[in-house]
Structure 1
Amino acid sequence: MKISIVILNYNVRYFLEQCILTCQRAITNIDAEILIIDNNSPDDSCAMVKEKFPKLTLIENKENVGFSKANNQAVDVAKGEYVLILNPDTAITESSIREALIKAESLSNLGALGCYLMDGTGAFLPESKRNLPTPKVSVLKMAGFTKQYYTSHISEENEGMVSVLVGAYMLMKRSVYLEVGGFDEDYFMYGEDIDLSYKLTKAGYNNYYYGSVKTLHYKGESTTKNKEYLKRFYGAMNIFYNKHFQTNKLFDVFVQIGIKLASNSHRTVSEANMEYAGIQSSYVLTENLTLFGKISKVLPLELHASSKSMLQDSLYEKSLFVFDTEYLSYDQIFKAMTQLKGRGNIFRIRPPGCNFLLGSDRSDEKGSVTVF
């Protein structure tokens, strides 16, 4: 078997369904498997997988064992030469697996391969390619100076070797993953991707960023950004530094100050009041008039049924775009989102055959699910 796609889920049932559907499209004519491992989600994620994807491997944990341990569980039973660690709140294009495998096969001494991650607004996520967060770089980032934290010498759509990739999307040979011990289980959530990236480079492998492959990541869906998140994140960074760097009490004080400053600066937005604020025009790109009617009943906006030809004009602003994935491919949708990003535009996606819309209008807030 060529590749095993490992998706760790916690309580994001609708996003997980879309993720699985995009993976199934992407592995057409590829010898592949999809493994779902669930960390005791309180929603109906597992019931959905059993009902809609009965042939997939589903591992149900009876407790939330964290990101590292759960992924290691799945990789242990995976059969693929390659493993792709993928977040459940992602969506991939139809050609992405094939393109990523071709690139991985062409690279010698590959550790992990990462890709261009975009959020629900169509904006590039800079954590797709990062430098090693040494204590100095980390303290600067906590103070708001991020230039040294992210890899700026490689453009977003280019490619090249980087130090750190993001755990939302990491492709590597299963043998390499096992050789370095996989994700360190001292981390419950956050920091484990930095640690694995660093272990790969210390073992003599090269991590590689490949900007030609694009993945949508509804960043923030698996966990809401709050003070508890910040404590966990910087706690994970403490684990990383204690394992790999020599720290001192002064640095520990800086970390605690960073946590407090970041917590106090965190903004909260009322999703119910802000979701469609300022939208002046709304379009549903579909050929399915029945679907258009159903969506029109649940969205509090005047909708217009439109064809993909409208995307030839990029001069839209303050508009809602609803994409039907049975009319446009995910590749076409991602290109449209990139083209239309900013200027007050927002996006919703209807996954193939589904009765819901997904979207996220900010990278640091929980996204939306609209069932119709």
Structure 2
Amino acid sequence: MDVSIIIVNYKTPQLINNCLQSVYTYTKGVTFEVIIVDNNSQDQSREMVCAHFPDVNWIDMGYNAGFSRANNLGMDHAKGRYLMLLNSDTLMVENLLARFVNVLDQQADVAAVGAMQINRDGQVHYDIFDTFGKIRRYFYIIPQHPFFQKLLYKFVPDTVYADPNQVDWLSGACIMTRPSTVAKAGKLDESFFMYGEDVEWGYRLGKQGRLLMLRDAFVVHLEFGSSEEYRQHLVTHINRFKTQAQVSNLLWIRKQYGIGAYLFLILHYMLMVPVVFIWKITVNLRNRDSLLSGLDNQKEFASQVGVFLRFLPETLLNRKGFYKV
């Protein structure tokens, strides 16, 4: 068998049905199995999916284990020459499995391969962070003025590769690798609940070979497929982080860049709390509004920083755990 496709389910039976239908429609010349790991959906997911695709290997996790632990269990049961992690909210638009298999068959120095993500309308998600530098710069809340942005880029630059397809990491929404590569790099870090785990994994996979994102290969990624609870509803310049995502990202920073980089970010957020309040109060004063009016955005940011600090002791010591908000 060529490929083991691993899909984590959390209350997304219709999305999985759509995803698998697209896989079966577009995949030619490649044999594959489908492993679905269910994170205690407590709904009719199994019945709905297996009614349409009875050959899937359905595994019940028993609790909401998040992304890393569920995918790792799926990898433990995989029989294919290659492992493919695929989100339930993705759709094939071409014979992507065959393209990935061809790359890994012909290029032994490639550790993993992925594709460009697009939306339903075929528009590319240009905000994909394919370098570690892009992600790290996004974490800093600074003015959008070019001077500050150039300064930040100098402080946190991007990795530059000769091959335009080579990247620092690949999204766990659609990635294919070898079992032998995973055996050397290790599986996904199970301290991560959701988000950030694929970035950290990419760092370890990248030590085993090149990571390629095929710029002319595409997969639809609908995003936010699992649940409303992980959406970020109030999106502004200071409140652009999903709380769970940023807790995971801070864990990644600690693991990959050490205590200093982690504490620097935490200190940055702590110092920004009074700054954003003072700025808004100053604006209110200038506009002759009530000094304490319109502070919802600032209060939300302070609340998020409070969550980050709640995880500070465990993250600082890099303790194994389950970093779930």
TM-score, normalised by the number of residues in structure 2: 0.70
Residue 326 of structure 1: aligned partner = none
**Residue 115 of structure 1 contacts residue 128 of structure 1 at CA under 8 Å; is this kept in 2?**
no
**Residue 172 of structure 2 contacts residue 198 of structure 2 at CA under 8 Å; is this kept in 1?**
yes
Distance 2:130 2:95 in 1: 25
Q: List aligned pairs for 1:347-358, cutoff 5 A.
A: none
Match of 1:243 among 255, 258, 261: 255
Residue 125 of structure 1: aligned partner = 125
**Residue 37 of structure 2 contacts residue 60 of structure 2 at CA under 8 Å; is this kept in 1?**
yes
Residue 176 of structure 2: aligned partner = 171
Residue 91 of structure 1: aligned partner = 91
Q: List aligned pairs for 1:249-328, cutoff 5 A.
A: 249-255=263-269, 264=297
Runs of 5+ consecutive residues of structure 1 not aligned to the other structure: 266-372
Match of 1:226 among 218, 227, 232: 232
Distance 2:95 2:251 in 1: 37
Are 2:193 and 1:188 equivalent residues in the alignment? yes
**Residue 26 of structure 1 contacts residue 98 of structure 1 at CA under 8 Å; is this kept in 2?**
no
**What's the % identity of the aligned pairs?**
23
Distance 1:132 1:69 in 2: 23
Distance 2:117 2:36 in 1: 21
Residue 301 of structure 2: aligned partner = none
Aligned residues: 260
Are 2:45 and 1:26 equivalent residues in the alignment? no
**Residue 27 of structure 2 contacts residue 96 of structure 2 at CA under 8 Å; is this kept in 1?**
no
**Residue 3 of structure 1 contacts residue 83 of structure 1 at CA under 8 Å; is this kept in 2?**
yes
**Residue 142 of structure 1 contacts residue 258 of structure 1 at CA under 8 Å; is this kept in 2?**
no
SS of the equivalent of 2:102 reads helix
Cα deviation for residue 213 of structure 1 reads 1.6
Residue 286 of structure 1: aligned partner = none
Aligned Cα root-mean-square deviation (Å): 3.2
SS of the equivalent of 1:22 reads helix
Distance 1:99 1:258 in 2: 46
SS of the equivalent of 1:58 reads strand
SS of the equivalent of 1:254 reads helix
Structure 1 258/102 Cα, relative in aligned 2: closer, same or farther at 3 Å? farther
TM-score, normalised by the number of residues in structure 1: 0.62
The residue type paired with residue 237 of structure 1 is: N
SS of the equivalent of 2:98 reads helix
Runs of 5+ consecutive residues of structure 2 not aligned to the other structure: 235-240, 277-295, 299-325
Residue 305 of structure 2: aligned partner = none
SS of the equivalent of 1:195 reads helix
Distance 1:77 1:186 in 2: 21
SS of the equivalent of 1:211 reads strand
**Residue 3 of structure 1 contacts residue 33 of structure 1 at CA under 8 Å; is this kept in 2?**
yes
**Residue 129 of structure 2 contacts residue 135 of structure 2 at CA under 8 Å; is this kept in 1?**
no
Cα deviation for residue 27 of structure 1 reads 3.5
Residue 340 of structure 1: aligned partner = none
- Higher helix fraction: Structure 1 or Structure 2? 2
